[in-house]
Chain A
């Protein structure tokens, strides 16, 4: 009798010393595929022609199809055709803002242009849409006459 009890005890101890095998733990792997955002430039931002001034003057191009009254003659906002996944929201940004525009020879100097997107976030409709970028630039009495140009990059990234 005692022998059997001890054997049973030994068996239980042996079983107890075997490491337990944990059950596999499931987990999910998920990806959300989003329609790639396309951006195509239609027009550049152009402040038009402004006159040199005796006191600092800020010229503004509205981020819209009509540049507004604060811009120079023949001004246009930059415009882009954008398309993304319907109902998805993207953040709008520029690689640099403000951007520096420099005067081509024979003039010298530069101006700082603040870019103004029509919105800092955009909710896509799923169809092609037009997105405008305006801006403002200050001209001072020492600003030389000439053509000032620079480059900016528009970026839209899903939130």
Chain B
């Protein structure tokens, strides 16, 4: 009996090893069900005149639009993932941009619109993030470049599209 057990044990160990390896590969390969988002460019409102009450807008598109300041550019992201999968885009509606002792509220907009990203048939898509802000009636008291940082995220959701 002892000899028979040892004979069986070797194939079982090999099988166990193969199963564990396969499982590990599946675990690592599981990211293929999600999406990867990569930043291409930041959102830049460009150089805007300090005019009290003026609203400056950067369209969520390759072209910043007529209401944008000189040098404006929308943020651009490349999303890759499994074709026909979906994800929920996580992006703040408003962020605060400190400008010296003052601050501006930036309303963010995106080229997706519905917040649900569909990877389509190619598994690759581009997302643009623009924004809009209005200077206070009295204008700004500080000049120069001012920046803040925010994030964009994708949360996979079930189903296909």
Contacts and interface: CB of A to CB of B under 8 A. Distances in A.
Contact of B43 (A5, A27, A32, A88): A27
A91 B118 CA distance: 44
Given A9-B19, A9-B22, A31 B154 contact: no
Chain A, interface size category, equals 35 or more
A22 interface: yes
Interface residues of B, number: 64
Question: What secondary structure prevails in chain B residues at the interface with A?
Answer: strand
A112 B143 CA distance: 41
Nearest to A88: B47
A127 interface: no
B59 interface: no
A8 B140 CA distance: 62
B30 A19 contact: yes
B16 interface: yes
B140 A33 contact: yes
Interface in A1-45: 1-2, 5-6, 8-9, 11-13, 15-37
A3 to B, nearest CB: 11
Interface of A: 1-2, 5-6, 8-9, 11-13, 15-37, 85, 88, 157-159
Interface of B: 12, 15-16, 19-20, 22-24, 26-31, 33-39, 42-51, 56, 69-71, 75, 77, 85, 90, 95, 97, 99, 104, 106, 129, 131, 133, 139-140, 142-156
30 contacts: A2-B12, A8-B20, A8-B23, A9-B19, A16-B26, A17-B33, A19-B33, A20-B34, A21-B156, A22-B35, A22-B154, A24-B90, A24-B153, A25-B77, A25-B151, A25-B152, A26-B39, A27-B43, A27-B129, A27-B151, A27-B152, A28-B42, A29-B147, A30-B44, A31-B99, A32-B45, A32-B145, A34-B48, A36-B49, A157-B70
